[in-house]
Homo-oligomer: A and B are copies of this chain.
Amino acid sequence: MRQSKLLVTTLREAPAEAETASHQLLLRAGYIRMLAAGIYTYLPLGRRVLRKIENIVREEMELTGAQEVLLPSMLPAELWKESERYEVYGKDLIKLQDRHEREFVLGPTHEEVITALVRGEISSYRRLPVTLYQIQTKFRDERRPRSGLLRAREFLMKDAYSFDTDWEGLDAAYVLMYEAYQRIFARCGLHFKAVQANAGAIGGEGENHEFMALSDIGEDTIAVCSACDYAANLEQAEVNRPAAAVHADLAERAAMEKFHTPGLRTIAQLEEQLQIKPEGIIKTLIYEGDGKAFAVLVRGDHEVNEIKVAKAIGVNEVSLADYSDVLAAAGVESGYVGPVGLQLPLVIDAAVAAMAEGIAGAGEKDYHLRSVVPGRDFPLEHVADLRNAVEGEACPKCGNGVLHFHQGIEIGHVFKLGTKYSEKLGATYLDASGRSKPMIMGCYGIGVSRLLAAVAEQSRDDEGLIWPESLAPYRVHILQMSAKDTEQTALAEELYGELTRQGIETLLDDRDERAGVKFKDAGLIGIPVVLVVGKSAGERKIEYWDRRSNAKEVISSAEALSRIIAAHRK
């Protein structure tokens, strides 16, 4: 392709709305353009990268034996009502009516449609298992679209769904998909981790893993063991539960004592003003779940993990009570709430249960209690793991390593859905003895367009993007320094012709622009090998610029060709 013909306009500055590096560079280098918040056009360079990702995903899906389908985007609302997600999904779900006022949604995911499809196609165990996938546009009306393709409202996904007769079959399908994901992300040149994760709105209680591209701008925190292979989303990461404390001396311990703490409502204030260590404080937080208030107790140096709390009390979601609700439920303003004498159910983190004694709110404005003994001064009826893991603590799996934290961008997710959808939508099969059973499902997603941005986020430098070979829009970028120099034209055209004949995708910068502009644009666009045809063209010498190492060396054009062709054949 000749750059003079290519629809690529590089920008000196990124538009103000672009905050992350990948978003800025994809805009500046002319890969994407915003049409509306969270809605993007792919220009020719961006489309080429997207297509390469699609091809890798498709190849690896086919290798697992998954079969490609294409489901619609306009989905009858009834299906979503059947699965009970029409309301649950909230405002992220885009709803519309057709000309006859029939209700539809734009598919943000396709569990309902695929389950309804398979229930119509398959009725016998003999036609299972089957795994279906598609690469398709999804719609999700994000409250706050951001970071370009990383959190968009219209985006490209690969979604796959497996259907099995038993859990062993699901396990096998899951492993196949998990391994395919490892290969896909490796082929895309990503640094990533597969981590244990929480199911979220998609539901199902089964095992699931997220694939996280490691990046400081990632919105997820993941905990990774320094010694074993344990890695989990912080939302999900278990913690080593301390051995239940044995307090044989309960009776001999000092009695509780109230003390005056005017205006000291936070852990930080108690620490600063009274030199009390946070790990010696019992933090009492009022939550609501399913319309009922309850208290969660964690140590002062720990954070409540709301997903764990919700699981512990068996509801979908919990939320922290606001000031007035705390006052109404606990009879005292927040900051002075404590477990002693509190007329609310107590849900207690294991680390609190293990404390010999601690300081807690007194349930009375401007007072705290010291020498509060768990199990003596308040009951230890409901103890569970309710807190986030803390960086540096021991690994919950091996116990030897310690947990390190990383930020990650979720690029893939594999789920054991089980029978959640097959039961709701009636996707059953007859087993060998003629009994009707629900199919056992898994679902497996990759954010194809998000993956593009994740690679851009990881693979760049001050000059611009640096694509891995596998995804680069072109493999070689020839820069002809002077468009009017006949020797340069001859050599540049010769190289361009030869590479093209070899089937190596090449972009030739034949524009009548200054050398500085061409270097700057090549740096931004990020094709991995750049050949600079300049003053030494008459001696058949060019500069070979390895965009990854940024090493530049002057070599003969023949040497450059043979290097590139050799690398291409590998």
Main secondary structure of the interface of A (DSSP, over half): mixed
- Which chain B residue has the least Cβ–Cβ distance from A449? B70
Any B CB within 8 A of the CB of A525: no
B72 lies within 8 A of A44 (CB): no
**Contact status A33-B143, CB under 8 Å:** no
In this complex, the member of A46, A98, A132, A139 whose beta carbon has the largest number of chain B beta carbons within 10 angstroms is A98
A206 within 8 A of B: no
Whole-angstrom CA separation of A39 from B69 in the bound complex: 14
Asked if A76 is an interface residue, CB under 8 A from chain B, the answer is yes
How distant is the Cα of A30 from the Cα of B154 in the complex, in angstroms? Answer: 30
- Are B99 and A67 in contact, CB atoms less than 8 angstroms apart? no
Contact in complex: B44, A137 (CB < 8 Å): no
Chain A 115-152, CB within 8 Å of chain B: the 1/0 string? 00110111000110010101001010101000000000
Contacts of A42 in B (CB 8 A): 69-71
Residues from chain B with Cβ under 8 Å of A153 in the complex = 74, 98
| Interface stretch (choices A4-12, A187-195, A346-354, A488-496) | A4-12
> CB of A68 within 8 A of chain B?
yes
A350-364 interface bits toward B, Cβ cutoff 8 Å, 1 = contact, 0 = none: 000000000000000
Interface size on A, residues (CB 8 A): 58
A40 within 8 A of B: yes
Q: Is the CB of B94 within 8 A of A68?
A: no
CB-contacts of A18-47 with B (<8 A): 30, 33, 35-36, 39-44, 46-47
Q: CB within 8 A of A44: which of B5, B67, B96, B98?
A: B67
Min distance, Cβ A542 to any Cβ of chain B, angstroms: 26
**Identity of the chain B residue whose Cβ is nearest the Cβ of A93 in the assembled complex:** B99
B residues in contact with A304, CB < 8 Å: none
Q: How far is the CA of A46 from the CA of B106 in the complex (A)?
A: 22
Please tell me if the beta carbons of B117 and A41 are within 8 angstroms of each other in the complex.
yes
| Complex alpha-carbon distance, A42 and B68, angstroms | 9
- Of B6, B43, B113, which one neighbours A35 at CB under 8 angstroms? B113
Residues of B near A154 (CB, < 8 A) are 72-74
Do residues B91 and A7 form an inter-chain contact, with CB atoms below 8 A? no
Interface string of A390-413 (1 = CB under 8 A from B): 000000000000000000000000
Can you list, as one digit per residue, whether each of A74-89 has a CB less than 8 Å from chain B (1) or not (0)?
A: 1110000000000000
Tell whether, in the assembled complex, residue B121 and residue A7 are in contact, meaning their CB atoms are under 8 Å apart: yes
A48 at the A/B interface (Cβ < 8 Å)? yes
Q: Which of B35, B48, B94, B134 contacts A76 (CB 8 A)?
A: B35
Query: What is the CA–CA distance of A106 and B512 in the complex, to the nearest angstrom?
Result: 40
Interface pair B99/A91, CB less than 8 Å apart: yes
Nearest 10 pairs between A and B by C-beta? A42-B70, A96-B96, A44-B67, A91-B99, A39-B72, A9-B121, A47-B68, A36-B76, A99-B141, A72-B154
| Chain A residues at the B interface, C-beta cutoff of 8 Å | 4-7, 9, 30, 33, 35-36, 39-44, 46-48, 50-51, 65, 67-76, 91, 94-96, 98-99, 102, 104, 106, 113, 117-118, 120-122, 126-127, 130, 132, 134, 137, 139, 141, 143, 153-154, 512
